[in-house]
């Protein structure tokens, strides 16, 4: 019983999530379980006055930092969808007429990471699912769409990494750089999975295998470079863009510059016939604005405008990536008529952001209650009691479990980041353990039921009645195939983690 009680709230939370009770209900049940354990066992106690004065401000600051990014990100995505920009970019990609392996590699290891890094929370699926369904058989398209959700530590302009840095006490850049190392083997592993899924009977095995492996390696190297020498918030965007651009450049050198020529516009397809730079203008504007804000003098001035701090957690409101996402929305509406006339995108974006923001806030509440009651310390003591060889396998599994259970890299970090970083201090590798949690949680999100159901719903939305039933019939198959991919991702996390802590 002594060993069971500290873990009971976590078991309640994870069980509720697996049973699809949702983030809000599951977090409330987990928090209720914390209070029940305190009532059952007098070893644990909660000072409500201290919680209100110390922990509540931390919850509010972390929630605000999340909301400042998610709400504008959802508005930007709604505007890009309503204006036809995402559909036009998808049409341009389809017009390249590349082999299936090359197309999947560029989409999953280039375009999707760029889009997910800008918006986050599965929003890039609204672009990748329709494109992949047009290029592949339904089952292959659905599985490839799930694999595209693996940039999560840098998704939503590195929101999960930013929250993880605050929860672990690690500097943002140091955590981002170390996360790029703990994630390094994941993207070549994704390349291997792309090859296995896309392989055709008459394909040339060696070139088709090398292409996605190389693309995954390029993405990993770009993440290390941009996290170290640029800004972590833009690392995923720039790494995805660079990977896709290098792949296209290689094809241009092989086939000539006509590869990128705009296709002839059919009825209702004037957006896809526009120059590529106009279609990419929102992304280029956002990159420029965030890059400008990271200049030392500009960044210092913005930080002085308004900030919030409590319990070691700090938020500089005017340096939040969300501010620049919203500025990008305003600039695009002022610059081009294509982005005007969509008044519903603002209210729609706020509505879509409300549930994930509420869910993440309640995850943080649960984590703070768990820590303040003393239950957290008991769990941490059991984790650090493991040997070095045991922790090599246990820590990545714990991180993946948090991402799988919550369906969110931010939620996973809110759940286990403090626990992992405390265990890391015992093994004298606090930064590596924090980075591992950040990576493992993010790379397991594609396995979660919320992401699988979102993928299926997007695929069904663009289908007729007969095809819609066929899409939903794929649910069990898709869950099983995703779980078959998990051991490779787990191995790709264990290997660099072992090398970093040995």
Rounded mean pLDDT of 99-117? 90
Give the containing element (helix H, strand E) for 345: helix 344-372
Tell whether the model's pLDDT for residue 268 goes beyond 50. Answer: no
Local confidence band at 263 (pLDDT 50, 70, 90 cut-offs) = low
Please give the Cα distance from 457 to 454 (Å, whole number).
5
Task: Please give the average per-residue pLDDT across 394-421, as a whole number.
Answer: 84
Please give the structure tokens belonging to residue 485.
């991919």
Tell whether the model's pLDDT for residue 311 goes beyond 70.
no
Residue 379 to residue 21: CA distance in whole angstroms? 25
pLDDT at 75 over 90: no
The residue assigned the tokens 């998990």 is 486
pLDDT > 60? residue 12: yes
For residue 151, with 0-12 CB atoms within 10 Å meaning exposed, 13-18 middle and 19 or more buried, which class applies?
A: buried
- The confidence band for 267, taking pLDDT boundaries of 50, 70 and 90, is very low
- 428 backbone φψ class: left, alpha, beta (φ>0; ψ -120 to 50): left
The predicted structure's pLDDT at residue 178? 97
Residue 50 tokens read as: 């201290």
Residue with the bigger pLDDT between 5 and 263: it is: 5
End-to-end CA distance of the chain: 34
Stretch 414-441: mean pLDDT: 91
Burial per residue of 84-108, b for 16 or more beta-carbon CB atoms within 10 angstroms, e otherwise:
bbbbbbbbbbeeeebebbbbbbbbb
pLDDT of 121 reads 62
Question: Is pLDDT larger for residue 230 or for residue 69?
Answer: 230
If you average pLDDT over every residue of the chain, what do you get? 83
pLDDT over threshold 80, residue 301: yes
Mean pLDDT of 462-488: 77
Q: What is the mean pLDDT of residues 402-423?
A: 82
How high is the pLDDT of residue 242? 95
- pLDDT score of 69 more than 80: no
Q: Does position 492 have pLDDT exceeding 50, yes or no?
A: yes
pLDDT digits (tens, 9 = 90+) for 281-299: 887 888 788 778 878 788 8
Q: What are phi and psi of 397, to 5 degrees?
A: -65, -40
Q: Which residue has the tokens 């059919």?
A: 266
| Average of per-residue pLDDT across 81-102 | 79
Q: What is the pLDDT of residue 223?
A: 97
The arithmetic mean of pLDDT across residues 462-491, rounded, is: 79
pLDDT of residue 259: 63
**How buried is residue 81: exposed, middle or buried, by Cβ count under 10 Å (0-12/13-18/19+)?**
middle
Q: What is the mean pLDDT of residues 191-209?
A: 79
Q: DSSP of 358-401, one letter per residue?
A: HHHHHHHHHHHHHHHTTHHHHHHHHHHTS-HHHHHHHHHHHHHH
Of 12-16, 30-34, 89-93, 170-174, which gets the smallest average pLDDT? 89-93
More confident residue, 179 or 27: 179
Supply the pLDDT for residue 1: 52
Q: Tell me the mean pLDDT in the region 343-372.
A: 79
C-alpha 367: how far from chain center: 20
- Among 61-65, 189-193, 198-202, 257-261, the range scoring the smallest mean pLDDT is 257-261
pLDDT tens profile 238-256? 999 999 999 988 888 887 7
Question: What value does the mean pLDDT take over residues 87-91?
Answer: 77
pLDDT band at 462 (very low <50, low <70, confident <90, very high): low
* Whether residue 480 has pLDDT greater than 90: no
Question: What local confidence, expressed as pLDDT, does residue 486 receive?
Answer: 93
Which whole number is the average pLDDT over 25-40? 87
Which pLDDT score is estimated for 272? 59
| Residue 9: exposure state from Cβ atoms within 10 A (0-12, 13-18, ≥19) | buried
Question: Where do we find the tokens 């709230």?
Answer: 9
């Amino acid at each position: 019983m002594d060993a069971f009680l500290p873990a009971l709230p976590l078991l309640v939370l994870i069980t509720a999530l697996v049973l699809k009770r949702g983030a809000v209900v599951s977090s409330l049940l987990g928090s209720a379980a914390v209070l029940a354990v305190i009532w059952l066992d007098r070893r644990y106690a909660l000072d409500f006055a201290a919680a209100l004065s110390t922990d509540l401000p931390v919850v509010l600051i972390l929630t605000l930092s999340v909301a400042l990014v998610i709400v504008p990100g959802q508005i930007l995505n709604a505007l890009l969808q309503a204006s036809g920009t995402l559909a036009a970019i998808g049409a341009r990609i389809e017009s390249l007429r590349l082999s299936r392996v090359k197309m999947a590699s560029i989409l999953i290891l280039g375009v999707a990471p760029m889009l997910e890094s800008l918006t986050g929370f599965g929003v890039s699926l609204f672009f990748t699912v329709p494109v992949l369904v047009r290029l592949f058989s339904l089952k292959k398209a659905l599985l490839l769409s799930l694999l595209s959700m693996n940039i999560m530590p840098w998704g939503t302009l590195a929101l999960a990494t930013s929250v993880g840095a605050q929860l672990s006490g690690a500097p943002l850049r140091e955590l981002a750089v170390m996360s790029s190392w703990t994630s390094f083997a994941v993207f070549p592993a994704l390349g291997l999975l792309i090859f296995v899924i896309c392989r055709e009977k008459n394909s040339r095995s060696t070139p088709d295998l090398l292409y996605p492996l190389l693309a995954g390696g390029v993405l990993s190297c770009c993440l290390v470079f941009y996290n170290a020498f640029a800004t972590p918030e833009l690392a995923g965007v720039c790494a995805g863009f660079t990977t896709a651009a290098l792949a296209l450049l290689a094809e241009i050198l092989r086939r000539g510059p006509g590869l990128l020529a705009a296709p002839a516009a059919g009825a209702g397809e004037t957006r896809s016939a526009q120059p590529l730079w106009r279609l990419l203008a929102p992304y280029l504007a956002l990159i420029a604005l965030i890059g400008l804000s990271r200049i030392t003098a500009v960044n210092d001035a913005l930080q002085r405008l308004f900030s919030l701090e409590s319990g070691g957690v700090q938020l500089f409101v005017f340096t939040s990536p969300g501010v620049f996402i919203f500025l990008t929305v305003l600039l695009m509406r002022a610059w081009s008529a294509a982005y005007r006339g969509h008044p519903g995108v603002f209210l729609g974006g706020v509505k879509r952001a409300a549930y994930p923001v509420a869910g993440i806030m309640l995850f943080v509440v649960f984590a703070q209650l768990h820590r303040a009651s003393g239950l957290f310390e008991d769990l941490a003591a059991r984790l650090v009691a493991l040997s070095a060889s045991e922790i090599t396998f246990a820590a990545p599994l714990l991180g993946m479990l948090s991402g799988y259970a919550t369906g969110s890299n931010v939620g996973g970090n809110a759940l286990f980041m403090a626990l992992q970083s405390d265990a890391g201090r015992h093994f004298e590798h606090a930064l590596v353990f924090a980075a591992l949690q950040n990576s493992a949680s993010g790379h397991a999100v594609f396995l979660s039921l919320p992401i699988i159901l979102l993928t299926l719903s997007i695929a069904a939305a663009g289908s007729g009645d007969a095809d819609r039933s066929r899409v939903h019939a794929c649910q069990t198959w898709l869950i099983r195939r995703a779980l078959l991919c998990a051991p490779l991702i787990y191995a790709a996390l264990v290997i660099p983690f072992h090398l970093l802590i040995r």
